[in-house]
Amino acid sequence: MSASMESSMFTPHKYFLAHISLDCVVFGFHENQLKVLLAKLKGRDEWGLPGGFVGIQETAEYAASRVLKERTGLDQVFLQQFYVFSDPDRGEQLKEVESLKAISGSAIDIEWFKQRFISIGFYALVEFSQVEPTPDVISDACQWWDLAEVSKLMLDHNLILQKALETLRLQLNYQPIGYNLLPATFTMPELQRLYEAILGKQLDRRNFHRKITGYGILKKLNERRTGVAHKAPDLYSFDLDKYHQALKEGLQGGW
């Protein structure tokens, strides 16, 4: 939540829909590792996913975009709704409410926070180097974590993260991925390592090359990656027209 909305944090019924929250799983890719953006609530040791509430005059998608802009500084991101979390026991919001009360030093609408919240899950794919992780007024920190190093998160955020990763893996079977996670130009090994990081398994180099080029979504450039120890690999970029067409129409085959 941005500083400009600080007052709404303490009287949320004036600004936000009751019973509905959202949680955002922000994926990035850096140094061959899949990353996830996490925030740490002030006064607590737990980390969790960036999240927030849906404004009375907002769509859920707009609210998610707002939350992501506040955490990443990015206006345009690939954003996908993937699941609704509605377990009656998922909340335990009262613990967080007491923390907020200590942070703010003023009265808050505790009963509003104690409601049962159904959370809409969104995942976002962003280019790591473009993100400026930014904590909000109730967070001590906001930073990237290696996906493999994430342990116990607050509330049911481990489940939300796992569901997002499962959805991302399924997406690889019928949609292209990479444009939102890689720089404008990249090598075939870099693209393969991204797919391997998402899938959690190694892929055969020749089969990967044959399959990914067969989709027709890549453009081979007349330049190579310089400053590498081995033979300079060719550089590629995405053919955005064909990439977006594949997002709409789907790809054939899985990984």
Q: At a CB cut-off of 8 Å and minimum separation 6, what does 116 contact?
A: 19, 88, 91
**Is the pLDDT assigned to residue 5 strictly greater than 50?**
no
Which of 82-86, 89-93, 102-106 is predicted least confidently?
102-106
Which of 45-59, 82-96, 122-136, 142-156 is predicted least confidently?
82-96
Q: Which CATH number fits domain 186-249: 1.25.40.10, 1.10.10.10, 1.10.510.10, 3.40.250.10?
A: 1.10.10.10
Torsion over CA of 126, 129, 130 and 132, rounded to 10 degrees?
100
Q: Report helix, strand or coil for 209.
A: helix
Q: Which CATH number fits domain 3-154: 3.40.50.720, 3.90.79.10, 1.10.10.10, 1.10.1740.10?
A: 3.90.79.10
Domains 3-154 and 186-249 share a fold: no
How many whole angstroms separate alpha carbon 211 and alpha carbon 165? 22
Q: Mind listing the pLDDT tens digit for each residue in 199-227?
A: 999 999 999 999 999 999 999 999 887 76
How many whole angstroms separate alpha carbon 161 and alpha carbon 89? 18
Domain regions of the chain by residue span: 3-154, 186-249
**Is the pLDDT assigned to residue 7 strictly greater than 50?**
no
Indicate the pTM of the whole model.
0.86
Q: What is the pLDDT of residue 240?
A: 94
